[in-house]
Structure 1
Amino acid sequence: MTTAGLVLAAGEGKRFGGPKAPYVHNGQRLVDRAVQVLAEAGCDPVFVVLGAWIGEVPKATVLENMNWATGMGSSLQVGLATLNGESEIDEVLVSLVDLPGLTSAAVTRVVNSPGEIVVACYDGKRGHPVKFARATWPELAASATGDQGARSFIANHPEEIVLVEVGDVATGEDMDERPS
């Protein structure tokens, strides 16, 4: 199985005070750390969807979401549209740029778990990353709207969800606000 990584990083970060992708946390840009974690877990290739901020991201293919202001759903659509043209890719692991507590150990568990929809859980609470098999992509893209991203798609397919506990090796907390 070939698993691509897809980092959603196009938002303007209103509560954060600016785009999160270029923000340096613990000596590393959030976007570079997100790519590194996915690559270390075996995601290859790794794509990053940017929008409000555009810049170079080494070790990843940058995709530009011209409609970034409409929400995360459009970024997911941009990523899936690109992946559809990559016939050797069997599944995609979707993550967010603002998860500094995500580890390659957690991502590896999700990547290595079989299922159509595999969701990381932190002490029983669902979070990111989420892995989607290729067969799900058309419906996933069609249902991705606004800032809901894949939520409605996942909610409509409870029987296909595999939950993978990763709370012992990572935290699922996102950075909604800049650290003080």
Structure 2
Amino acid sequence: MTPVGILLAAGRGRRFDPTGAASKLLQPLPGGELVVAASARVLLSSVDKVIAVVRPDDGGVGDCLRALGCIVTVCPDADSGMAASLVHAIRHSLPDAPSWLIALGDMPHVRGSTMLALRAALEQGAPIAVPLHAGQRGNPVGFGRVHLDALLALQGDQGARAILKAQAVSVVAVDDPGIFSDIDTVADLLKTSTLA
């Protein structure tokens, strides 16, 4: 069964703009597409349903994602950390989700082929699927239904790292440096990228 896509887009991006006035997710990439739109587009092309999590004062991120076809849900306690957004999205996906492909709204350079490879690993029964490029793991990450209870118990700003450290994972080799490329600073945004 097809995994449910989750796009985490509820962070404040303080490294990009300490004042919080400018959302990194709504900045245009060199080709003109918005960061969060590029991130969502690849995920949307790889699964049947994408649940996108935004914070209450999202500055228009939710509207952008709805227009692309995401199911947008507002996490009222998004500021308490990434885990809150992830738990919120997983709860929103129940009871039907067989697994989850979890992507980040500030990673617009992940290739569609990577998403599809992770999807295939989940559909073939991998409890956790992680992409590997040049000997290093990256994002997005897939979780099977077997980890539902552990995912729902997450807290803080570490996301699902504790589960990744404690459980066996299926490593999916990909030719995709985009699995490491997130937009955290203005310098990241300004880089001319050939990753996508």
Q: What TM-score, normalized by structure 1, do the two folds share?
A: 0.89
Match of 2:87 among 77, 85, 89: 77
Give the structure with the higher percent helix.
2
Within 1, Cα distance between the matches of 2:130 and 2:145? 15
Larger radius of gyration: 2
Q: Which structure 1 segments of 5+ residues have no match?
A: none
Match of 1:90 among 90, 98, 103: 98
Within 2, Cα distance between the matches of 1:72 and 1:129? 14
Give 1:120 deviation, angstroms: 1.2
Give the corresponding residue for 1:3.
3
Give the corresponding residue for 1:27.
32
Give 1:23 deviation, angstroms: 2.1
Give 1:36 deviation, angstroms: 1.1
**Correspondence list, 1:1-180, <5 A:** 1-17=1-17, 18-25=22-29, 26-41=31-46, 43-51=47-55, 52-53=57-58, 54=60, 55-56=62-63, 57=65, 58=67, 59-85=69-95, 87=96, 89-113=97-121, 114=124, 115-142=126-153, 144-157=154-167, 159=168, 161-166=169-174, 168-171=175-178, 172-178=180-186, 179-180=189-190
Within 2, Cα distance between the matches of 1:34 and 1:125? 21
Within 2, Cα distance between the matches of 1:22 and 1:98? 10
AA aligned to 1:151 is R
- Comparing 43-52 with 23-32, greater Cα deviation is found at 23-32
How many percent of aligned residue pairs carry the same amino acid? 29
1:5 alignment partner, SS class: strand
Within 2, Cα distance between the matches of 1:47 and 1:29? 18
Q: What TM-score, normalized by structure 2, do the two folds share?
A: 0.82
- Comparing 8-17 with 48-57, greater Cα deviation is found at 48-57
Q: Which structure 2 segments of 5+ residues have no match?
A: 191-196
Give 1:170 deviation, angstroms: 4.2
Would you say the 8 A contact 2:24–2:184 is kept in 1? Answer: no
Within 1, Cα distance between the matches of 2:149 and 2:23? 29
